[in-house]
Amino acid sequence: MLFSSITFLFYFLPVFLICYFIVPKKFANAVLLLGSLFFYAWGEPRYLLLMVMMICAGYFFGIWIQKITTPGSRKLVTALSVAFCLVVLGFFKYTDFLLENINRLPGLSVSLLSVTLPIGISFYTFQIISYLLDVSHKKVSAQKNFLCLAVYIAMFPQLIAGPIVRYRDIEKQLTERTVTVPEISCGIRRFVIGLCKKLILANTLGEIGNLYRETSQVTVVFVWLYAIAATLQIYFDFSGYSDMAIGLGKIMGFELPENFDYPLASCSITDFWRRWHMTLGGFFRDYLYIPLGGNRVPVLKWIRNILIVWMATGLWHGAAWTFVVWGMFFAFFLVIEKTIKKAILKNEKVLPKQIPGIVLCRHIYVWLLLCISFVIFNATDLSDAFTALKYMSGAGHISLVSAESLFYFRDYFFILLIAVVIACGFFRYLTDFLRQYQTGERVLNIVEPILLATGFLICVAYLINGSYNPFLYFRF
Amino acid sequence: MSNRKKDWCNIILMGCLLVAGLIACLVHPQKEVSVSERRTLHSFPELGLETIYTARGTESFMDRFEPYVVDQFPCRERFRTLYSAFSLYVLQKKEVNDIYYAEDHILKTDSEIRENSVSWALNRMKYIDEKYLQNSHVYFSIIPDKNDYLSEHEQVPYLDFDAFEAGFREKTDAFSEYIDLTDELELDDYYRTDLHWRQEKLLPVVNKLELAMGNYEEKPGKAKTGNGYLYGQFEEKEADVPFYGVYYGQGALPVAPDKLSYLYAGYMDGCVVTCYDTGKAEAMPMYDEPALKGMDPYELFLSGSRALITIENPDCSNDRELVLFRDSFGSSIAPLLAQAYCKVTLVDIRYIRSDVLGRFVDFDGADVLFLYSTQVLNHCDGQFLQ
């Protein structure tokens, strides 16, 4: 079941919320867990048992780890438990990828297992791993209440596509949370904004990708139009989902971590990854990069650490070489940027930060790299990625422009403009500015409910028009 | 408004929308068909253990539930209109769901020549020619799409009709004579809300076809026009129901309907129209007036899509026969062509296999006209039967 579906909006959500708010507080977690299991089973009845098994494994491993007092044994059991989680994830996600690559070796032809990827396995597995590691490092106590742990792992707002919630961020909220009118209102606002981002912006921008794949007249303009649209689509799709997840969490009294902070307004790739999928970045930073030594190691080891983390980041997104290349692409530029930054810090007078030209150039630089990266990300395979990049550079014997590409540029120009303006945070600055004044705040307070209701109805119109509508990150 | 009031407004408004939506979805009566979309709507899927735990690759109850609730959503048409209006007027898109509005017409974008479809059509025509038409006079004509007559082509991508036509002629000129209809039509010869041409505007087309096929016998009461002759006079009758064409439903925006007119002449009273789709000869009217109140009023003309129809005209003074390989455009022109032939046989190879035609149709010495619209020829792969 997806948030952007009639089934969720008009069947599951109203019934769930009525049950959630009607029952006494002590039963709230039970209702949430039952609702979450139903939510998951609706999309994946066959793998519900797998998720329950993983929750049980997380529960028992957590208690076991906590009971062990000797550091050596504790590390061993921790490693065992993490390995168990990674083996399960690896089996479902990477088996066929591995077999496909083995089959590239001459003389080998192993049958693929055609394993179906269970929805959300990457997210809930990582949450279990973060819980076990935090218990092991004594950052949190193991949760003895099975229901609470199950709610943490399986709660439906963040089950399928994040954000990746650390147990320590939510521990208290599992047992003591209050729901207030302002929080519910804020949650509704986040949810509707997320729904609009997903259905109105991301899906419309996704049409450009479909048109690009179907055309027989690829031009340089068309491929760049596709690249910009793909970048914006992925952002709005994923951030829209995160907004919906955070909004639903707020309605139920949970404060889920932010996952995006206007990453397309970044002025460097380093800055971008501090604002894009922040919970995943934080996970790999805290549980992989820092344990490997981070940047407090000799240069070669530091580069090795960056490469490992970014290979893992790429592979986490999908079992294909395009994702590995995508990760390595960012690793390369992160190393370059950090190296340049070190050089600049040694010579502070070289490049003053606030010259407008420099700022503009940096934004253009980031956008250029993002467009290239998301073309790789979106490609079906490396050959497809390479072809698209070739076209973007003007090579490949294609025209600069055609009547068709000009038409689609004009047709989607306004939505691209709106998307860029929203992605760069214009409306946040506008509302922050207006809220400084009493009149501005009053106007916003009158306009907000109307806009939310209108936006919601327009989203319903999109659903009616389009029918089934999966998220881009559905494969994770 | 204070923050507190705003918060309560948000909660109450959204709460009402969700609860009202749930109740409306549960109590709203199910519809079987969508008239605007011309298709059957999904019904409630079968619910059982075997439909919940299905084999891999098989759709489960849950997979079928979403299409069902979307199809049966209350005020579905209003929401489709909202979507179209928002896309066109707020997002400033030129086309929505491949439909666009220009020069008071609703049109469909179809800019790419689909080589698979072209090959398939040519393959079928060549097969029919080789198997049946060695002793026939073979003609071929493509009906241009109304997009071709827009004065502002640069607004939306459009099919290069000249290239499309040339691609066919290159392969068909060997066995057929091509009849170019481009100059006989203009934009307003088509319905505004539909892809079809208007029957009352087809006399120049009929004239061109009959001249090309050698039907220029002089008859009493003829009306002489520019480069040919019309047989007798037609009376234009107007249907008393508005005609909302297929593009109206697809576009979902409220526009004025078309008026549907049809031509009547005295010889039509004597014509015998027979349909053979069920395997038996069944009489049918030339103009199926009850169809005007159905889902598609265009089925007024020869009751819509049929595999095999004959029109026998006892008033015709010659013994010429026409076999018309056609699509839905042929339904409206065939009654007019029937004036010049003692028998017109309409064949739709989307519904009857080409290899069995010889059992039902006598091609010997007949005029054979392949008359297809651009849209059908550009999307016929798999539709034209083997």
Under DSSP, is residue B185 helix (H, G, I), strand (E, B) or coil?
A: coil
Q: Is the pLDDT of residue B333 over 80?
A: yes
What residues contact A346, with CB distance under 8 A and at least 6 apart?
Answer: none
Nearest-CB residue to A452 (from B10, B60, B91): B10
State the smallest CA–CA distance between residue B115 and chain A in angstroms. 11
The residue behind tokens 């952007």 is A4
Cα gap B175→B83, rounded to integer Å: 48
Q: Is the pLDDT of residue B225 over 60?
A: no
Q: Which residues of A258-288 are buried (b: 16+ CB within 10 A; e: fewer)?
A: ebbebbbbbbbbebbbebbbbbbbbbbbbbe
Report the pLDDT value the prediction gives residue A351, as an integer from 0 to 100.
Answer: 55
Within 10 angstroms of residue A345's Cβ, the number of other Cβ atoms is 9
- For chain B, domain boundaries: 3-102, 112-378
- Of residues A263, A209, A267, the one with CA closest to residue A233: A209
Cα gap B344→B342, rounded to integer Å: 7
Q: Best residue in B25, B51, B91, B95 to probe A by mutation, most A CBs within 10 Å?
A: B91
Q: Is the pLDDT of residue A4 over 50?
A: yes
State the smallest CA–CA distance between residue A234 and chain B in angstroms. 19
Residue A269, token pair as written in the block: 């790739």
| Nearest residue of chain A to residue B67 (CA atoms) | A467
Range name among A240-244, A333-337, B210-214, B258-262 with the lowest pLDDT average = B210-214
- Could you report the per-residue pLDDT of B201-224, keeping only the tens digit for each? 999 999 899 889 986 554 455 555
| Nearest residue of chain A to residue B72 (CA atoms) | A464
Cα gap A428→B139, rounded to integer Å: 66
Contact A7 B65 (CB under 8 A): yes
Average pLDDT over residues B50-59: 77
Length of chain B, please? 386
Q: Is the pLDDT of residue A473 over 70?
A: no
* Cis peptide preceding A449, ω within 30 of 0: no
Chain A contact present for B11, CB below 8 A:
yes
Q: Give the CA diameter of chain A.
A: 75
Question: What does DSSP say about strands B228-230 and B235-243: parallel, antiparallel, or unpaired?
Answer: unpaired
Report the pLDDT value the prediction gives residue B234, as an integer from 0 to 100.
Answer: 87
Report the pLDDT value the prediction gives residue B233, as an integer from 0 to 100.
Answer: 77
Residues in chain A with CB shorter than 8 Å from the CB of B150 are none
Question: What does DSSP say about strands B99-102 and B308-312: parallel, antiparallel, or unpaired?
Answer: unpaired
State the smallest CA–CA distance between residue B287 and chain A in angstroms. 35
Q: Is the pLDDT of residue B284 over 90?
A: yes
Which H or E element spans position A22?
A: helix A13-22
Average pLDDT over residues A136-161: 92
Q: What is the 3-state secondary structure (H, E, C) of A199-223?
A: HHHHHHHHHHHHHHHHCCCCEHHHH
Cα gap A299→A293, rounded to integer Å: 11
Cα gap B335→B330, rounded to integer Å: 9
Within 10 angstroms of residue A28's Cβ, the number of other Cβ atoms is 18
Cα gap A179→B111, rounded to integer Å: 55
Contact B83 A458 (CB under 8 A): yes
State the smallest CA–CA distance between residue B199 and chain A in angstroms. 33
Report the pLDDT value the prediction gives residue A31, as an integer from 0 to 100.
Answer: 96
- Could you report the per-residue pLDDT of A150-206, keeping only the tens digit for each? 999 999 999 988 899 999 999 999 999 889 999 999 999 999 999 999 999 999 999
Chain A contacts in chain B segment 76-105 (CB below 8 A): 76, 79-80, 82-83, 86-87, 91-95, 97
Q: How far is CA B64 from CA A217, A468, B49, B151, in A?
A: 36, 10, 14, 44
Range name among A58-72, A166-180, B152-166, B327-341 with the lowest pLDDT average = B152-166
- Of residues B357, B374, B363, the one with CA closest to residue B121: B374
Contact B70 A403 (CB under 8 A): no
Q: Is the pLDDT of residue B42 over 70?
A: yes
Count contacts between A and B (CB, < 8 Å): 139
The pair phi, psi for residue A362, each rounded to 5°, is -65, -40
Range name among A342-346, A419-423, A469-473, B252-256 with the lowest pLDDT average = A469-473
Do B155 and B94 meet the contact criterion of CB atoms below 8 Å apart?
yes
Q: Which residues of A149-179 are buried (b: 16+ CB within 10 A; e: fewer)?
A: bbbbbbbbbbbbbbbbbbbebbbebbeebeb
Q: How far is CA A139 from CA A66, A255, A271, B47, in A?
A: 11, 19, 28, 47
Average pLDDT over residues A11-20: 96
Question: What does DSSP say about strands B95-96 and B99-102: parallel, antiparallel, or unpaired?
Answer: antiparallel
Which residue type, as a one-letter code, is found at position B148?
Answer: D
Do A223 and A391 meet the contact criterion of CB atoms below 8 Å apart?
yes
Which residue type, as a one-letter code, is found at position A131?
Answer: Y
Within 10 angstroms of residue A437's Cβ, the number of other Cβ atoms is 11
State the smallest CA–CA distance between residue B159 and chain A in angstroms. 11
Mean pLDDT taken over chain A? 90
Report the pLDDT value the prediction gives residue B37, as an integer from 0 to 100.
Answer: 76
Per-residue pLDDT band for A215 (boundaries 50, 70, 90) equals confident
Residues in chain A with CB shorter than 8 Å from the CB of B156 are 407
For chain A, first and last CA: distance in Å?
Answer: 15
Do A260 and A278 meet the contact criterion of CB atoms below 8 Å apart?
yes
- Of residues B67, B152, B167, the one with CA closest to residue B112: B167
Tell me how many degrees the CA angle B42-B44-B50 measures, rounded to the nearest 5.
Answer: 115
Nearest-CB residue to A456 (from B1, B17, B19): B17
Q: Is the pLDDT of residue A474 over 70?
A: no
What residues contact B303, with CB distance under 8 A and at least 6 apart?
Answer: B275, B284, B285, B288, B291
Do A118 and A92 meet the contact criterion of CB atoms below 8 Å apart?
yes
Under DSSP, is residue B235 helix (H, G, I), strand (E, B) or coil?
A: strand
Do A452 and A192 meet the contact criterion of CB atoms below 8 Å apart?
yes
What residues contact B310, with CB distance under 8 A and at least 6 apart?
Answer: B272, B273, B274, B276, B343, B344, B345, B346
Residues in chain A with CB shorter than 8 Å from the CB of B11 are 181, 184-185, 188
Per-residue pLDDT band for A146 (boundaries 50, 70, 90) equals very high
- Could you tell me the pTM of the whole model? 0.89
Tell me the catalytic residues of A.
Answer: 317
Q: Is the pLDDT of residue A404 over 90?
A: no
Report the pLDDT value the prediction gives residue B155, as an integer from 0 to 100.
Answer: 66
Q: What ipTM score was computed for the predicted complex, to two decimals?
A: 0.89
- Could you report the per-residue pLDDT of A33-70, keeping only the tens digit for each? 999 999 999 988 889 999 999 999 999 999 999 999 89
Q: Is the pLDDT of residue B252 over 90?
A: no
Cα gap A165→B245, rounded to integer Å: 53
Cα gap A129→A62, rounded to integer Å: 10
Residues in chain A with CB shorter than 8 Å from the CB of B19 are 14, 18
Residues in chain B with CB shorter than 8 Å from the CB of A403 are 154, 157
Output the CA torsion sign for B218, B222, B224, B228. Answer: negative
Residue A284, token pair as written in the block: 């790999």
Chain A contacts in chain B segment 117-156 (CB below 8 A): 154-156
Do A236 and A440 meet the contact criterion of CB atoms below 8 Å apart?
no
Mean pLDDT taken over chain B? 88
Q: Is the pLDDT of residue A349 over 70?
A: no
